[in-house]
DNA sequence: TCATATT
């Protein structure tokens, strides 16, 4: 019944004119009213919506602003982005257009299947029938050669829509046997997802996609364009997102837990079948803190998943917000091997105590690891133990650097 | 090289 109140009260929020901004670095304790009051000093703001955890309903440290116009939104961005640090935040406010807003506002179209010799002027002739063109560019390569596609912005959405409907799949340029493709340009988010996917497939060329759990580790699957036509380079996006390749290889991503690795004698024979692995993975401290590995090959038995609570809680920790441990129990780790994800990091460090969370940072655009991350334990003793055992430990090409995480907001000045 | 989060 309380749910019933979730009616859309503000018709203003559906206004085409209104602009949504995303705001980061918002202290979790701030209320929507407080934020509204603050932002109103700089621009007209109709609404503030704090982004909350789906389950706990706790603030996730960011919010959306609804501004009545682009002009007002720009005022808020210019006045606040990177300019103010709210009490309790560690870095300045991040204020930017919410995902997809810019694209929505710009009425940007993608045009594909252009003959390479078509000029801007010719394109302009064709598209100006539908409205005022604000921007038009043919994508070109190094020698100024056309890539056979273009981006185009109209003054209004209606104009863009009219052009899309009229030309997409219907209009053939002179001398071309295939019709043009016209679609709404991808949003920044879609582009990032695509880039990440590409980077992933290059970074892990031997991905064994038969392992179902691997899917969860990869970026969202590629969603085909709504119009079903190709985009830029047809074939660049197969409908099967990950190429299936032959070749057997132990699952790199999940079973790298110390106890799954046998003594070096085994490693030798393992390498040739693991082209993705360029170097030995050794867990110096890890091995000793578990019961001694049996020297029999049985140690390799896949009777794994002592799916211990450490691992599973780490997984849940990394899937939601970051769980932080008590003071002194959180580690910063640098020089993590490139191919390590959250899970591998957790596995590597679980030998020293109860891992609350483990996070490897990745480049937002490419999905590539930045080779640093965090591990949180439930006790400072575990963290110290991990530092002693793992700091300076050669893992991959480099030596791990394991330190206590620097903690900005710990002081309680009374 | 120290938590960037999109209802």
Average pLDDT of the residues in A337-361: 94
Using the CA of A401, give the nucleotide whose C1' is nearest.
B1
In whole angstroms, give the CA distance from residue A40 to residue A37. Answer: 5
> Is the pLDDT score of A128 beyond 80?
yes
Give the pLDDT mean for A351-378.
92
User: In 10 A of CB A142, how many CB atoms?
Assistant: 5
Q: What is the pLDDT of residue A103?
A: 80
Number of residues that make up chain A: 414
Using CA of residue A8, residue A12, residue A17, residue A20, what is the dihedral sign? negative
Residue nearest to nucleotide B1 (CA to C1'): A334
pLDDT in tens, A133-143: 999 999 998 99
More confident residue, A275 or A102: A102
Output the distance from A263 CA to B4 C1' rounded to whole Å.
40
Cα distance between residue A215 and residue A209, in whole Å: 7
Q: Using pLDDT thresholds of 50, 70 and 90, give the confidence band for residue A11.
A: very low
Q: Inform me whether the pLDDT recorded for A32 exceeds 90.
A: yes
Please give the pLDDT value at position A241: 28
CA of A302 to C1' of B2 (A): 36
Residue with tokens 């006790």: A379
SS3 assignment, position A356: strand
Dist CA A336 CA A375 (whole Å): 12
Terminal Cα distance for chain A, rounded: 44
CB–CB of A308/A350 below 8 Å? yes
Q: What is the mean pLDDT of residues A275-287?
A: 34
Residue nearest to nucleotide B5 (CA to C1'): A62
CA angle A286, A321, A312 (to 5 degrees): 40
Q: How far is the CA of A292 from the C1' of B2 (A)?
A: 35
Identify how many contiguous H helices and E strands chain A contains and give both numbers.
12, 14
Residues lining strand B at under 7 Å (Cβ) are A 20, 22, 24-25, 49, 51-52, 54, 60-62, 64, 66, 90-91, 94, 96, 98-99, 322-324, 330, 332, 334, 357, 359, 364, 370, 372, 374, 376, 403, 405-406, 408
Residues A8-35: b if buried by 16+ CB within 10 A, e if exposed: eeeeeeeeeebbbbbbbbbbeebeeeeb
What's the CA A259/C1' B1 distance, rounded, in angstroms? 30
**Given its phi and psi angles, is residue A205 left (phi above 0), alpha (psi -120 to 50 degrees) or beta?**
alpha
**What was the pLDDT predicted at A203?**
55
- Which nucleotide's C1' is closest to A89 (Cα)? B3
Q: Which nucleotide is nearest to A330 (CA to C1')?
A: B2
A11's enclosing H/E stretch is none
Residue with tokens 């596609």: A149
Six-digit token string for A192: 């990032």
Determine contact, residues A329/A376, Cβ cutoff 8 Å. Answer: yes
Q: Which residue is nearest to nucleotide B7 (CA to C1')?
A: A51
SS3 (DSSP) at A51: strand
pLDDT number for residue A294: 29
| Residue pLDDT, tens place only, A204-235 | 544 443 333 333 333 333 333 333 333 333 32
Protein-contacted positions of strand B (CB under 7 Å)? 1-7
Q: For residues A135 and A150, is the Cβ–Cβ distance under 8 A?
A: no
Between CA A126 and C1' B4 the distance (Å) reads 42
Distance A97 CA to B4 C1' (A): 15
Å separating the CA of residue A61 from the C1' of nucleotide B6: 12
Per DSSP (E only), the strands in A223-292 are none
Sign of CA dihedral A378, A379, A382, A383: positive
The H or E element that residue A151 is part of is strand A146-154
Q: For chain A, what is the radius of gyration of the CA atoms?
A: 26
**Interatomic CA–C1' length for residue A377 and nucleotide B7, angstroms:** 31
Average pLDDT for chain A? 73
Q: Which residue has the tokens 């790199």?
A: A252
Q: With the C-alpha atoms ordered A42, A46, A48, A49, is the resulting torsion angle positive or negative?
A: negative
The reported pLDDT for the residue numbered A374 is: 96
The pLDDT score that the predictor gives to residue A348 is 95
A24 pairs with which residues across the strands?
Answer: A62, A94
Q: State the sign of the Cα–Cα–Cα–Cα dihedral A115, A120, A122, A126.
A: positive
Backbone angles phi, psi at A33, to 5 degrees: -65, -40
User: Among A110, A377, A82, A364, which Cα is nearest to A226's?
Assistant: A110
User: 0.75 cut: is pTM over it?
Assistant: no
Q: Measured over all CA atoms, what is the biggest interatomic distance in chain A, rounded to whole angstroms?
A: 78
- C1' of B4 to CA of A171 (Å): 43
């Amino acid at each position: 019944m309380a749910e019933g109140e979730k009616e859309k009260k503000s018709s203003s929020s559906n206004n085409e004119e209104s602009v949504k901004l995303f705001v980061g670095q918002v202290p979790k304790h701030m209320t929507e009213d407080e934020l509204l009051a603050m932002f109103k000093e700089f621009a007209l703001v109709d609404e503030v919506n704090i982004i909350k955890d789906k389950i706990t309903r706790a603030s996730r440290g960011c919010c959306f602003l609804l501004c009545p116009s682009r002009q007002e939104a720009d005022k808020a961005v210019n006045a606040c982005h990177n300019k103010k640090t709210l009490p309790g935040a560690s870095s300045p406010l991040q204020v930017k257009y919410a995902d997809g807003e810019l694209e929505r506002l710009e009425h940007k179209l993608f045009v594909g299947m252009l003959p390479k010799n078509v000029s801007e002027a010719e394109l302009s002739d064709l598209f100006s029938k539908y409205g005022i063109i604000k921007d038009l560019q043919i994508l070109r390569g190094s020698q100024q050669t056309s890539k056979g596609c273009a981006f185009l912005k109209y003054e209004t959405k209606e104009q863009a829509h009219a052009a899309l409907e009229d030309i997409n799949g219907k209009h053939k340029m002179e001398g071309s046997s295939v019709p043009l493709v016209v679609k709404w340009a991808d949003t920044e988010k879609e582009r990032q997802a695509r880039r990440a996917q590409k980077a992933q497939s290059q970074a892990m060329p031997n991905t064994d996609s038969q392992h179902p759990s691997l899917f969860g580790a990869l970026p969202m699957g590629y969603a085909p364009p709504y119009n079903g036509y190709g985009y830029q380079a047809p074939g660049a996006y197969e409908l099967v997102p990950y190429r299936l390749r032959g070749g057997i290889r132990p699952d790199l991503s999940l079973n790298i837990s110390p106890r799954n690795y046998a003594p070096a004698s085994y490693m030798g024979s393992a390498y040739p079948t693991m082209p993705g692995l360029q170097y030995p993975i050794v867990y110096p401290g890890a091995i000793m803190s578990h019961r001694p590995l049996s020297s029999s090959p049985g140690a390799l038995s896949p009777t794994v998943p002592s799916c211990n609570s450490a691992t599973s809680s780490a997984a849940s920790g990394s899937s939601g917000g970051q769980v932080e441990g008590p003071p002194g129990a959180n580690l910063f780790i640098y020089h993590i091997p490139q191919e390590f994800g959250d899970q591998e990091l957790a596995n590597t460090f679980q030998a020293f105590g109860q891992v609350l969370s483990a996070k490897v940072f990745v480049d937002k655009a490419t999905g590539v690891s930045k080779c640093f991350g965090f591990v949180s334990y439930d006790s400072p003793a575990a963290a110290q133990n991990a530092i002693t055992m793992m700091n300076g430990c050669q893992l991959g090409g480099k030596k791990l650097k394991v330190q206590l995480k620097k903690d900005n907001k710990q002081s309680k000045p009374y």
